[in-house]
């Protein structure tokens, strides 16, 4: 699902095809690197509307007469005489309201992710990886669940690190300018807003983590949750620039491994965005 979010723009018209965890540019007139109506393969354009529906179809599962909430996303389930509504801004906020109403007996389970801390259920602290409720016919109940998540560094290959908080992965967002291409292909005009774009970097990207503290800051969920301009949550991190370098033979691809990890600048604080909010990004950085 992260791929679905970061390869589309806020207005869901241009989309990309090939995306990388360390991507500082989307250019070169090679279809796979552009944003547009159907760069490289048109199947992604026709398939992109299936992502969220298929994801939410896995929100609930059955086990006999038990209904299990596996993915806590905004959903509504009608199953015979059973009605369950989940209200939440997860994964940006970790609070949930379950409204359950039933005309027959059944068991309802709520899966709690392993990274949840200070779990609170109906206002009371508890410890569990699964909440179980036995509902009787005619019963209606609202269950409130919330928990906290800690920001952590996860070791990645080549001595790099990724910042995670709960189910979110965070990246250094690379600011960019757009270069628009309007053209005709196979007798079809590709005019704005159905043209192609290059995304060219206008901000620094050659960073290494230099601090011990990573601070999460919630900013509220907007109409476009994975917005590149107004991310609903950020992580503030201390970094320093390094001589990262480019991959041999390329002018637009950063090296897989930094050429040097020696700092070449003073320490500064930057904001990391959720992976799906960063259309160009550096997701795995060394720590110095």
Q: Could you read off the pLDDT of 57-81 as tens digits, one per residue?
A: 899 999 999 999 999 889 999 999 9
Share of the chain above pLDDT 90, in %: 66
Phi and psi (nearest 5°) for 142?
A: -110, 125
Q: How many domains does the chain have?
A: 2
**Structure confidence by residue, pLDDT tens digits, 186-241:** 888 888 888 888 899 999 999 999 988 999 999 999 888 888 899 999 999 999 99
Q: In this structure, are 32 and 156 located in the same domain? A: yes
**Residue 171 and residue 257 share a domain:** yes
| Same domain? 119 vs 165 | no
Which pLDDT value is given to residue 256? 92
Q: Is residue 48 part of a domain?
A: no
Query: Which of the two residues, 165 and 8, has the higher pLDDT score?
Result: 165
Pairing of strands 66-69, 106-111: parallel
Residue 42 lies in a domain: no
Model pLDDT, residue 4: 46
46 domain-assigned: no
**Residues 142-167, mean pLDDT to the nearest whole number:** 97
Q: Are 138 and 248 in contact (CB under 8 A)?
A: no
Last residue of a domain, one of 115, 133, 148: 148
Domain shared by 32 and 174, yes or no: yes
Assigned domain for 14 exists: yes
Over range 161-183, report the average pLDDT: 94
Name which of 14-28, 86-100, 262-276 the model is least confident about.
14-28
Does the pLDDT at position 87 exceed 70? yes
Query: Is residue 26 domain-shared with residue 157, that is, in the same domain?
Result: yes
Quote the percentage of the chain above a pLDDT of 70: 91
State pTM to two decimals: 0.90
Residues 178 and 271 in one domain: yes
- Read off the pLDDT of residues 34-63 as tens digits, 9 standing for 90 and up: 887 777 777 777 777 788 888 888 999 999
pLDDT for the residue 29: 52
225 exposed, middle or buried (CB, 10 Å; 0-12, 13-18, 19+)? middle
pLDDT of res. 13:
65
157: CB partners within 8 A, 6+ apart: none
Residue 132 confidence (pLDDT) above 60: yes
| pLDDT greater than 50 at residue 1 | no
pLDDT value of residue 50: 81
Let me know if residue 176 belongs to a domain.
yes
* pLDDT higher than threshold 90 for residue 184: no
Q: pLDDT-derived band of residue 267, with 50, 70 and 90 as boundaries?
A: very high
Whether the per-residue pLDDT at 6 is higher than 50: the answer is: no
Q: Is residue 43 part of a domain?
A: no
CATH of the domain at 93: 2.60.40
- Is 214 found in the same domain as 273? yes
Do 165 and 257 share a structural domain? yes
Domain region containing 120: 56-148
Sheet with strand 130-135: strands edge to edge: 60-63, 66-69, 106-111, 130-135
Whether 191 and 276 map to the same domain: the answer is yes
Query: Rounded to whole angstroms, what are the CA distances from 172 to 110, 203, 281?
Result: 33, 10, 5
Mean of the per-residue pLDDT values of the chain:
90
Assigned domain for 13 exists: yes
């Amino acid at each position: 699902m992260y791929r679905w979010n970061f390869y589309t723009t806020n207005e869901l018209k241009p989309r990309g095809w090939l995306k990388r965890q360390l991507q500082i540019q989307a250019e070169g007139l090679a279809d796979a690197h552009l944003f547009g109506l159907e760069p490289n393969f048109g199947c992604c354009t026709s398939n992109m509307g299936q992502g969220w529906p298929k994801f939410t179809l896995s929100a609930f599962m059955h086990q006999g007469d038990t209904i299990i909430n596996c993915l806590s996303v905004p959903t509504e389930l009608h199953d015979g005489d059973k009605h369950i509504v989940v209200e939440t801004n997860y994964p940006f906020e970790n609070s949930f309201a379950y409204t359950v109403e039933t005309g027959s007996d059944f068991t309802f389970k709520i899966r709690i992710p392993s990274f949840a801390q200070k779990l609170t259920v109906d206002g009371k602290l508890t410890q569990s990886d699964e909440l179980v409720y036995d509902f009787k016919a005619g019963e209606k109940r609202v269950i409130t669940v919330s928990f906290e998540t800690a920001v952590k560094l996860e070791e990645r290959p080549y001595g790099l690190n990724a910042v995670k908080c709960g189910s979110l992965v965070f990246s250094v967002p690379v600011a960019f300018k757009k270069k628009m291409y309007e053209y005709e292909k196979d007798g079809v005009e590709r005019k704005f807003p159905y043209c192609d774009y290059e995304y060219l970097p206008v901000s620094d990207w050659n960073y290494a983590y230099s601090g011990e503290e990573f601070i999460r800051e919630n900013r509220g969920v907007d109409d476009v949750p994975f917005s590149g301009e107004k991310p609903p949550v950020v992580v503030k991190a201390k970094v320093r620039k390094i001589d990262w370098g480019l991959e041999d033979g390329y002018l637009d691809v950063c090296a897989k491994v930094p050429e040097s990890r020696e700092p070449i600048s003073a320490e500064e604080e930057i904001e990391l965005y959720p992976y799906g909010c960063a259309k160009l990004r550096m997701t795995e950085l060394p720590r110095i």
